[in-house]
Amino acid sequence: MVDSTVSNTVLHHKAHDLLSLIEALNHSGSRLEDQFWEAKLTESVQELLVDPDSTLLEQLLDYLSSSEQFELYDVLVSLIEGLAESATLSHQGQRYDVLLITAPIAAWTRYQLPEGDLSHELHEKLLGAVKSYAGSDAKVAVLGQLLSFDQLPKSFALTHEFTAQLGRLALEAKPTTIELDHLEDGITLLADTKFIVCAIATPQGQAAFAWQQHKNPLLALQESQTRWQEQCEQLLSAMFAGCQAQFLPPDGYYFNTRASDKLMRPLAIKAAVSWLGLVTQSEPSEISAVVARCGESDTEEFRIGLTVENNPELLYGCVWPIFSKDEIDRSSSHFEDSALQIQTILTELGVESILFLAGLYNPDFCDDCSAPSFPTAQGELDHPYLPEELDFAPAPLH
């Protein structure tokens, strides 16, 4: 068990009260006592989630992380995420559990990713696919637009509000025209995740997913995931023409956000090398990569700077984020040798010159455009610039 040893006087009194409950749960010695404290915590978190302008939960998590109270952090973030991505609603005299789910599409291209708007026909077909994935008693709503990371709700409270909004549309079988439906995806990226966003509403206590209702749930899950992959390849192949795409099966909002985050790391490198080779008319063997660990006190991300032969200028770069302390802890069962993974991916792409810089670099950003700086062979972080004579705007195929 972990005690709170860092002063928490800087916290809002509501966050301070919540911290006391987390510490109490962490000192519980029985399942019965666990349930008591969990009920108190649930009530307190739900009170904060109903205020869409509140960021107290994020502030408390930041405090726990910065003060290295990771055990308490894990307890709280699991609870908050579970409550934020769910809701309980009443409809025609019956209580329903609502779960916000996504089906991520991790895609990369040397051209341009498609915009997210779904045609009426495609939306209806995706709605049918999600309904077949959901439990037999479930009501389903699918957002009429694929969302990118930047278009997702920015806080736990906004996620909870969005869950309830989409859940009501599922219960009322209304068109999915809510505010988030009209957000523009203003950033052109070569690799990104597009999310099919859905809400599943089931009578309280009933299964959210069809595979939960089978005698052999694991086998049913595998069959459902395979069928989903096949359906997406059939339905979305035209929309993602010119792209390499991986279709993740529907699952809880936060679970799939993390899954797609990890999946994007190698895709971002592939897209960067492929695109730079295209715009500079260079072979992968003519591209050089410089890799640096970046972070305030420990590795928070790897940054990869790219140059081409006969041009010493830094032209492009990409970021390999680290998502947990366990990833960089060699004693942890969840340790991942990110440096080796990066080297392997670059080598498989045909990049022959790969330099890893020693030490830890500050994660600098450009003061003017806020873009990250990337490492050079001189051991510095610099802003990448492409020569003006190059036509480096991603070409649209859609």
214 and 118 together in one domain: yes
State both tokens at 365.
Answer: 């950003």
Torsion of the alpha carbons at 47, 75, 217 and 231, rounded to the nearest 10: 70
pLDDT tens sequence for the chain (398 residues): 434 434 444 678 888 899 999 999 999 999 999 999 999 999 999 999 998 888 899 999 999 988 889 889 999 999 999 999 999 999 999 999 999 999 999 998 877 888 888 999 999 999 999 999 999 999 999 999 999 988 999 999 999 999 999 999 999 987 665 555 444 444 456 788 999 999 999 999 999 999 999 999 999 999 999 999 999 999 999 999 988 899 999 999 999 999 999 999 999 999 999 989 988 899 999 999 999 999 988 899 999 999 999 888 899 999 999 988 888 888 888 889 999 999 999 999 999 999 999 999 999 888 887 789 999 999 999 998 877 666 555 554 44
Distance between CA 109 and CA 268 in Å, rounded?
A: 10
CB 376 within 8 A of CB 383: no
Closest CA relative to residue 144, chosen from 157, 158, 130: 130
77 and 111 together in one domain: no
Q: Quick one: the chain helix, strand, coil %, rounded to 5?
A: 40, 25, 35
State both tokens at 295.
Answer: 């972070």
Domain count for the chain: 3
Within a domain: 388: no
Q: What does each C-alpha distance from 114 to 65, 145, 243, 249, 319 come to in angstroms?
A: 37, 11, 9, 20, 22
90 and 212 together in one domain: yes
The boundaries of the domain holding residue 52 are 13-84
Residue 372 dihedral angles phi and psi, to the nearest 5°: -70, 150
31 and 105 together in one domain: no
168 and 217 together in one domain: yes
Within a domain: 116: yes
| Residue 388: partners with Cβ closer than 8 Å, 6 or more residues away | none
Residue in this structure with the two tokens 């666990």, named with its chain if needed: 34
Within a domain: 275: no
Residue in this structure with the two tokens 């942890």, named with its chain if needed: 332
Count of beta carbons in the 10 Å neighbourhood of residue 174: 11
